[in-house]
Structures are given as structure tokens and as C-alpha cells.
């Protein structure tokens, strides 16, 4: 699995996305449940703008290990890009439970709470 993961990284850098995906998937097939490989696949989809697919991978990884601040952050950023503010807020709050001083999450939580408050006031 390590070799396939490494080959995936190389193909991604060379913009051979189909080959990269094949190698990432093979690394997961050979070592299922190994969150670093799942996370890399999620990041791969995120980088390609396949946000729904990326989110599925991040959620799969978080089901296996919910103590991954970086993956909560990526999941939150993905939710933001998908305009799902409630999910983004929950993800960022999970980041802060694990890393209370994460400045990116702190700033995003403040902005999301303001945006959600404005949106709820608009609905009234």
C-alpha cells in the first residue's frame, strides 16, 4: 500500500489524475481503514474540485478516527465551498475541541456564527 500511495502522489504531481486515483484507491484496498490513505484520497478529490466526493472520504475517515483536527478542518472547508454553513460550523467546532487555539478555525467559527445569525434574522 505504501508504494501505491507514493505512486499516487507522483502521478498527482505530474497531473496524471486518473493514474493517481487508481493508486490511491489501490492503497486503500490493500490497507482498508488506514485513515492517512483515506485522507489523501479526500484531499485529492478536494484539490480537483470534486467536493461531494471529497466530503465522503473525509467523513469515512472521521468515522474511523474522530480525533483528526486536520480532517475536521478539511471537512469544514469542503462544507463551506458547498455552501453548507451548518455543517461547516459543526466541523470547525470539532477542530476547536481538538485544537482550541487553531486560529483558522477560530476565525471561521466567528464568521459562520455571524453569517448564520444574519441568515436566521433574514428568515424572520
Q: Is 124 helix (H, G, I), strand (E, B) or coil?
A: coil
C-alpha to C-alpha distance for 113 and 79, rounded to whole angstroms: 15
What's the pLDDT at 118? 76
Q: Find where cell 496524471 sits.
A: 16
- Separation CA 21–CA 5 (nearest Å): 10
Cα 53 to chain centroid distance, Å, stands at 10
65 Rama sector, left if φ>0, alpha if ψ -120 to 50, beta otherwise: beta
Per-residue pLDDT tens digits of the chain, which is 124 residues long? 999 999 999 999 999 999 999 999 999 999 999 999 999 999 999 999 999 999 999 999 999 999 999 999 999 999 999 999 999 999 999 999 999 999 999 999 999 999 988 766 665 5
Amino acid at each position: 500500500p505504501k508504494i501505491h500511495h507514493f505512486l499516487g502522489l507522483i502521478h498527482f504531481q505530474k497531473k496524471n489524475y486518473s493514474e493517481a486515483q487508481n493508486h490511491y484507491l489501490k492503497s486503500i484496498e490493500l490497507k482498508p481503514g488506514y485513515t492517512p490513505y483515506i485522507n489523501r484520497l479526500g484531499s485529492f478529490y478536494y484539490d480537483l474540485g470534486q467536493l461531494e466526493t471529497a466530503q465522503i472520504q473525509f467523513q469515512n475517515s472521521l468515522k474511523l478516527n474522530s480525533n483528526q483536527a486536520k480532517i475536521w478542518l478539511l471537512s469544514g472547508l469542503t462544507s463551506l465551498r458547498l455552501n453548507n454553513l451548518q455543517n461547516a460550523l459543526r466541523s470547525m467546532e470539532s477542530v476547536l475541541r481538538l485544537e482550541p487555539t487553531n486560529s483558522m478555525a477560530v476565525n471561521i467559527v466567528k464568521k459562520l456564527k455571524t453569517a448564520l445569525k444574519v441568515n436566521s434574522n433574514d428568515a424572520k
